[in-house]
């Protein structure tokens, strides 16, 4: 018995030893092929089994494998998986992984989740950081210009710190904010620095935007900031420096000689109606009033007011991964001095992103962004006189100090308003400063292998202070007294999203999505004061002695929502997605607060079908379609209430005056969106995307005219519809690709048309400059409404406009010319919105050299050049400087002058009144940016302890081609209290920018 037991034990021991002998350890490390740095968190597994380990912080791993040869599979997100053959007992195995560019671009952040490119059922465009940062700017909008089909970007001001205006697929509302909703790292709103951006995702149709419901009426732009990608800590440093110069476009003013000769026209012997006119210039009278010495007095006001200005941008970041923590920290400093004197802007930004992996089930993300900024703005009138003052006036005295000028000055000052803006700028200040903090807390808990709870939350606060100060030494209204006003703004709020996300896979079927709730609350508090009577040298409110005024108010806003989405796919070829969001807004009466916003979208990945599987021409073919609703309530709080103004007094007590009619039925604007699209990939070189859309915005939130008996001119109501229809085309191609040379092209174009319907009556909006736009059924948004200019009467030299003749039905049946402005007929003369716009960008790489040229074009919009009223005024204002007349322009010189384009100064009554004379074609083509970079060879970089070094030079706003007469035709498209879309009015000029940039990776 004992012998049997021993025999059995011997066999068992031999079996165990044999089994032990069949596995041997293998050790090594995984590195990045790009920079040879170790990679943590990489999965190393024995192929065909569930046996595997993850690499540590140094990229190292140890794994037992069978004796003899085995195959290891090494995989990591964003890198190409690799199979490696090893032998049991082998040590110091080094495995290099290369980045999988296709996979990196494959995952797209959409809504409250992410999808792979092939799963997308809606119109989405992704712009990587590499394509963004050929332009150096303080805002993402400027960087996006010309890079996304359907995205209109307008740089309407070159003032330091100014941001671009952005419109996606046209304008769909009259009063509501039409800027796209920005979402930063999955949460609505938020602050960030362009240097911290990893990618931008633009959501265009309701299939993608409806998840944001009432806030997505104008589209959504998702900003994803940087996070760690590799194990060892990586550092990046960037230094950019250069200068800017003002771009005056075709606003070329006359010098002293040109103006001298031009003003001779004011002395032509011509009296309308007289029979003895000689039409000759009375030189004797002219020389008596304009001495020849003026030809030698040539002072360039633009040169004195606008100077070359330096720009600086410094950035430093660190990122890394450990088994438990992913982290990114970035710091940046941006400073630009304005090209207009005494203007500037500077901003410092700190950002930290961290995700801690407590376990395989629980991740916690903490993101914080801190920013502070300050700068100096300008007074519009200082800009105004810098363009209009005559070259015959010297702004400086013998000591090169700005001259004080007013109406009592004893010396001759030729310019009309006796103002020296250089002196005013020196004795005034328009400063501002602000601080902003965002803190995000994200919790991701995997309850089961198919169910996850995701909580994203943000607390934000900002404080801003603006001040306008005029010294008692300055000329004008406040001379001798001085003036100061301050406005303080405090904003704070919270956003919280709580979602349950699910993901099932059953054979060829896959279902995923989420359900949950969202809550937003914000409060804006304003306080300010102003006064006159300041001692010289003091800029504080507590020393003002008269005209003291205090003001303050606040706004409160709450939005609560239920949201859900379900996505279904079959065989990774057929995709269906549906979402529903239910929003409640405090901006409406309790009975009208809630609105539902559904969407549905579908896609067919035809290139995965068997009949296209072996196709050598078409490598990708997807057909998409979507339908959905979004809405808006973004017109401010309390529009539905009857309000009284408490800004008056009666018997030393507060007096109330009726201010706003109640509108208890006021509710959401709703936007119905339909989109059909196709994505085509050809020869693995060309990618084409085409989208056709129609967006109908109904129940517009308008101030509708009321009968005179009501006692109010307007009342807030839901009325009217805006219909936007368009086509978008995007093409990306790799034209040439060899080992040493590569040429790629991006082309985008968007055609958009809008029409109005359902308006109870015509709505005419008139600016403070007496420029009108009309909203009329069958018309367009931002449609200019004014008399049509017909030129000059060849016999009299008088201006001529068009007068329409109407029949009994109110229809225009004929027209005639008139020189009586009061008889001229207001007509629709074109919209401020373009018919199409887009970009054409090319990148070239030769070995380590890279060249990128980005362009942008805009066609079919009208711009009213209000500047020309003063600078092409037919002698009405002889003491304003004048613009150089374009080629072909000619002032009327006598009867029968059929070549004249400008009226006689002696017979030009009302010629500067609003008419299409100053309404110009706003089309343009601009070379937006040229960037040239050189990347040092790795061996050279390693010699200076760097992983990579890139040196580059860039030029922004290189040249603009346009027939527009005046400043840069990029003009505001945002309505406001003192601005009108499409009106150019002595704006702060855009700038040409030239930079040298050095980028270090170590």
The per-residue pLDDT for range 935-979, each reduced to its tens digit, is: 888 777 777 767 788 999 999 999 999 999 988 899 999 888 788
Residue whose tokens read 């985008």: 748
Q: How confident is the model at residue 638 (pLDDT cuts 50, 70, 90)?
A: confident
Say which residues have a Cβ less than 8 Å from residue 738's Cβ, sequence separation at least 6. Answer: none
- Determine the distance from the C-alpha atom of residue 114 to the mean position of all C-alpha atoms in its chain, rounded to a whole number: 23
- State how far the Cα of 726 lies from the Cα of 172, in Å rounded to an integer: 13
Q: pLDDT value at position 768?
A: 87
- State how far the Cα of 432 lies from the Cα of 376, in Å rounded to an integer: 6
Q: pLDDT value at position 99?
A: 65
- Residue 819 has which token pair? 């020189």
- Determine the distance from the C-alpha atom of residue 62 to the mean position of all C-alpha atoms in its chain, rounded to a whole number: 50
CA dihedral 172, 178, 184, 185 (to 10 degrees): -10
Give the H or E element holding residue 432: strand 428-446
Phi and psi torsions of 396, nearest 5°: -120, 155
Residue whose tokens read 């982290």: 327
* Direct distance between the N- and C-terminal alpha carbons of the chain, in angstroms, rounded to an integer: 72
Which residues pair with residue 349 across a beta bridge? 332, 371
Q: pLDDT value at position 650?
A: 80
Q: pLDDT value at position 215?
A: 80
Mean pLDDT of the chain: 89
Q: pLDDT value at position 339?
A: 97
The answer to whether residues 34 and 99 touch, using CB atoms and an 8 Å cutoff, is: yes
Q: How confident is the model at residue 40 (pLDDT cuts 50, 70, 90)?
A: confident
Burial group, residue 408, by CB count within 10 angstroms (0-12, 13-18, 19+): exposed
DSSP state of 916: G
Task: Please state which of the ranges 72-81, 251-260, 270-279, 620-629 shows the lowest mean pLDDT.
Answer: 72-81
How confident is the model over 770-793, as pLDDT tens digits?
999 999 999 999 999 999 999 999
Nearest to 588 by CA among 519, 635, 553: 635
Q: Is 873 helix (H, G, I), strand (E, B) or coil?
A: coil
Dihedral sign, CA of 11, 17, 19, 22? negative
Q: How confident is the model at residue 988 (pLDDT cuts 50, 70, 90)?
A: very high
Say which residues have a Cβ less than 8 Å from residue 116's Cβ, sequence separation at least 6. Answer: 106, 107, 108
Phi and psi torsions of 834, nearest 5°: -75, 160
Q: How confident is the model at residue 454 (pLDDT cuts 50, 70, 90)?
A: very high
- State how far the Cα of 984 lies from the Cα of 968, in Å rounded to an integer: 9
- State how far the Cα of 326 lies from the Cα of 355, in Å rounded to an integer: 5
- State how far the Cα of 205 lies from the Cα of 70, in Å rounded to an integer: 50
Burial group, residue 553, by CB count within 10 angstroms (0-12, 13-18, 19+): exposed
- State how far the Cα of 99 lies from the Cα of 744, in Å rounded to an integer: 20
* Model confidence at 845: pLDDT above 60: yes
* Pairing state between β 220-225 and 181-184: parallel
- Residue 877 has which token pair? 């204002």
Q: How far is residue 842 from each of residues 490, 546, 744, 933, measured CA to CA in Å?
A: 44, 61, 6, 14
Q: What angle do CA 610, 614, 619 make, to 5 degrees?
A: 95
Give the number of other Cβ atoms within 10 Å of residue 663's Cβ.
21
Q: pLDDT value at position 980?
A: 93
pTM for the predicted model, two decimal places: 0.86
- State how far the Cα of 826 lies from the Cα of 928, in Å rounded to an integer: 37
Q: pLDDT value at position 104?
A: 42
Residue whose tokens read 């072996």: 614
447-458: buried (b, 16+ CB within 10 Å) or exposed (e) per residue?
eeeeebbbbbbb
How confident is the model over 242-295, as pLDDT tens digits?
999 999 999 999 999 999 999 999 999 999 988 889 999 999 999 999 999 999
Give the H or E element holding residue 424: helix 421-426
Q: pLDDT value at position 47?
A: 82
- State how far the Cα of 376 lies from the Cα of 309, in Å rounded to an integer: 14
Residue whose tokens read 């995997």: 446
- State how far the Cα of 991 lies from the Cα of 600, in Å rounded to an integer: 44
* Model confidence at 109: pLDDT above 50: yes
Residue whose tokens read 């100064």: 905
- Residue 231 has which token pair? 């194990």
Which of the pair, 428 or 59, is modelled with greater confidence? 428
Q: How confident is the model at residue 229 (pLDDT cuts 50, 70, 90)?
A: confident
* Model confidence at 105: pLDDT above 60: no
Say which residues have a Cβ less than 8 Å from residue 613's Cβ, sequence separation at least 6. Answer: none
The average pLDDT across 851-875 equals 94
Give the number of other Cβ atoms within 10 Å of residue 330's Cβ.
22
Give the number of C-alpha atoms closer than 13 A to the C-alpha of residue 723, restricted to the C-beta side: 11
Nearest to 188 by CA among 597, 493, 501: 493
* Model confidence at 585: pLDDT above 80: yes
The average pLDDT across 848-876 equals 94
Q: How far is residue 291 from each of residues 42, 288, 332, 389, 817, measured CA to CA in Å?
A: 85, 6, 57, 18, 40
- Residue 540 has which token pair? 């504080």
How confident is the model over 355-374, as pLDDT tens digits?
999 998 999 999 999 999 99
Q: How far is residue 577 from each of residues 283, 514, 623, 776, measured CA to CA in Å?
A: 80, 12, 14, 38
* Model confidence at 232: pLDDT above 80: no
Helix ranges restricted to H, 53-126: 101-104
Give the H or E element holding residue 727: strand 721-737
* Pairing state between β 862-865 and 714-718: unpaired
- State how far the Cα of 888 lies from the Cα of 867, in Å rounded to an integer: 20
* Percent of the chain residues topping a pLDDT of 70: 96
Burial group, residue 794, by CB count within 10 angstroms (0-12, 13-18, 19+): middle
How confident is the model over 883-929, as pLDDT tens digits?
998 888 999 999 999 999 999 999 999 999 999 999 999 999 999 99
Give the H or E element holding residue 211: none
Give the number of other Cβ atoms within 10 Å of residue 134's Cβ.
22
Which residues pair with residue 721 across a beta bridge? 757
Which of the pair, 442 or 943, is modelled with greater confidence? 442
The average pLDDT across 146-154 equals 90
* Model confidence at 13: pLDDT above 50: no
């Amino acid at each position: 018995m004992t012998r049997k037991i021993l025999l059995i034990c011997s066999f068992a021991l031999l079996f165990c030893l044999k089994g032990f002998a069949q596995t041997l350890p293998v050790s090594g490390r995984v590195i990045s092929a790009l920079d040879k740095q170790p990679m943590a968190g990489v999965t190393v597994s024995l192929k065909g089994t569930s046996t595997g380990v993850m690499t540590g912080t140094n990229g190292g791993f140890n794994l037992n494998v069978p004796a003899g040869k085995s195959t290891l599979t090494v995989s990591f997100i964003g890198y190409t998986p690799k199979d490696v053959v090893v032998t049991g007992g082998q040590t110091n195995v080094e495995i290099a992984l290369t980045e999988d560019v296709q996979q990196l671009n494959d995952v797209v952040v959409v809504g409250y989740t992410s999808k792979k490119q092939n799963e997308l059922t809606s119109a989405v465009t992704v712009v990587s950081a590499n394509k963004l940062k050929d332009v150096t700017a303080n805002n993402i909008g400027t960087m996006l210009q010309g890079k996304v089909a359907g995205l209109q970007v307008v740089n309407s001001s070159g003032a330091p710190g100014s941001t671009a205006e952005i419109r996606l697929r046209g304008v769909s509302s009259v009063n509501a904010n039409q800027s796209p909703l920005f979402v930063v790292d999955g949460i609505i709103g938020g602050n960030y620095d362009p240097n911290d951006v990893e990618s931008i995702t633009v959501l265009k149709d309701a299939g993608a935007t409806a998840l944001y419901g009432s806030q997505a009426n104008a589209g959504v732009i998702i900003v994803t900031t940087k996070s760690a990608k590799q194990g060892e800590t990586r550092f990046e440093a960037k230094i950019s420096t250069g200068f800017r110069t003002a771009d005056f476009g075709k606003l070329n003013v006359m010098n002293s000689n040109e103006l001298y000769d031009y003003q001779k026209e004011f002395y032509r012997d011509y009296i309308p109606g007289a029979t003895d006119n000689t039409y000759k210039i009375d030189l004797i009278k002219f020389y008596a009033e304009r001495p020849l010495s003026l030809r030698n007095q040539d002072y360039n006001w633009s040169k004195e007011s606008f100077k070359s200005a330096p720009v600086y941008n410094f950035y430093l970041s660190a990122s890394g991964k450990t088994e438990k923590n992913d982290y990114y920290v970035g710091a940046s400093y941006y400073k630009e001095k304005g090209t207009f004197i005494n203007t500037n802007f500077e901003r410092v930004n700190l950002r930290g992103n961290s995700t801690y992996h407590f376990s395989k089930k629980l991740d916690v993300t903490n993101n914080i962004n801190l920013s502070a900024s300050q700068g100096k703005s300008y007074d519009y009138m200082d800009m105004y006189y810098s363009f209009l003052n005559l070259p015959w006036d010297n702004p400086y005295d013998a000591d090169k100090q700005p001259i004080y000028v007013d109406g009592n000055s004893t010396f001759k000052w030729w310019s009309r308003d006796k103002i020296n803006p250089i002196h005013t700028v020196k004795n005034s200040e328009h400063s501002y400063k602000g601080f902003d903090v965002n803190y995000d807390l994200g919790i991701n808990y995997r309850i089961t292998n198919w169910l996850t709870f995701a909580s994203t939350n943000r607390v934000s606060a900002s404080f801003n202070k603006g001040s306008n100060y005029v010294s008692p030494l300055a000329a004008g209204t406040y001379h001798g007294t001085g003036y100061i006003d301050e406005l303080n703004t405090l904003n704070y709020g919270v956003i919280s999203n709580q979602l349950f996300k699910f993901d099932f896979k059953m054979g060829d079927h896959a279902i995923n999505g989420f359900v949950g709730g969202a809550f937003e609350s914000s409060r804006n508090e304003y306080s300010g004061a102003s006064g006159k009577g300041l001692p010289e040298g003091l800029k504080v409110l507590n020393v003002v002695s008269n005209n003291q005024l205090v003001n303050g108010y606040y706004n409160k806003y709450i939005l609560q929502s239920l949201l859900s989405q379900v996505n279904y796919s079959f065989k990774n070829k057929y995709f269906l997605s549906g979402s529903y969001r239910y929003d409640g807004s405090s901006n409406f009466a309790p009975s009208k607060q809630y609105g539902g916003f559904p969407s549905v979208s579908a896609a067919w990945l035809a290139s995965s079908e068997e009949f296209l599987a072996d196709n050598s021409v078409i490598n990708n073919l997807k057909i998409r379609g979507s339908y959905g609703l979004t809405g808006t309530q973004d017109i401010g709080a309390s529009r539905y209430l009857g309000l009284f103004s408490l800004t008056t007094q009666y018997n030393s007590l507060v007096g109330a005056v009726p201010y706003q009619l109640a509108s208890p039925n006021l509710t959401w604007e709703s936007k119905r969106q339909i989109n059909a699209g196709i994505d085509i990939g050809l020869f693995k070189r060309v990618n084409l995307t085409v989208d056709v859309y129609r967006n109908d915005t109904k129940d517009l939130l308008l101030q509708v005219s009321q009968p005179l008996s009501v006692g109010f001119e307007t009342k807030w109501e839901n009325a009217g519809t805006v219909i936007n229809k368009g086509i978008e085309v995007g093409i990306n191609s790799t034209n040439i690709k060899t080992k040493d040379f590569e040429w790629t092209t991006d082309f985008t174009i968007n055609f958009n048309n809008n029409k109005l319907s359902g308006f109870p009556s015509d709505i005419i909006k008139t600016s403070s400059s007496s420029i009108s736009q009309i909203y009329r059924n069958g018309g367009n948004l931002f449609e200019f409404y004014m008399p049509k200019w017909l030129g000059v009467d060849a016999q009299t030299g008088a201006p001529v406009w068009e007068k329409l003749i109407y029949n009994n039905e109110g229809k225009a049946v004929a027209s005639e010319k008139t020189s009586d402005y009061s008889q001229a007929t207001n007509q629709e003369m074109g919209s401020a919105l373009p018919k199409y716009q887009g970009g054409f960008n090319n990148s070239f790489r030769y070995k380590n050299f890279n060249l990128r040229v980005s362009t942008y074009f805009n066609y079919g919009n009208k711009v009213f050049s209000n500047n020309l009223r003063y600078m092409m005024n037919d002698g009405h204002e002889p003491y304003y400087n004048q613009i150089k007349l374009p080629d072909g322009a000619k002032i009327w010189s006598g009867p029968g002058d059929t070549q004249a384009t400008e009226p006689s100064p002696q017979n030009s009554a009302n010629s500067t009144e609003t008419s299409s004379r100053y309404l110009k074609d706003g089309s343009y083509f601009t070379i937006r940016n040229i960037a040239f970079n050189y990347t040092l060879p790795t061996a050279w970089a390693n010699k200076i302890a760097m992983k990579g070094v890139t040196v580059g030079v860039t030029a922004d706003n290189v040249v603009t081609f346009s027939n527009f007469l005046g400043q840069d035709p990029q003009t505001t498209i945002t309505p406001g209290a003192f601005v009108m879309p499409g009106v150019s009015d002595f704006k702060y000029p855009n700038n040409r920018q030239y930079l040298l940039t050095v980028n270090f990776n170590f």
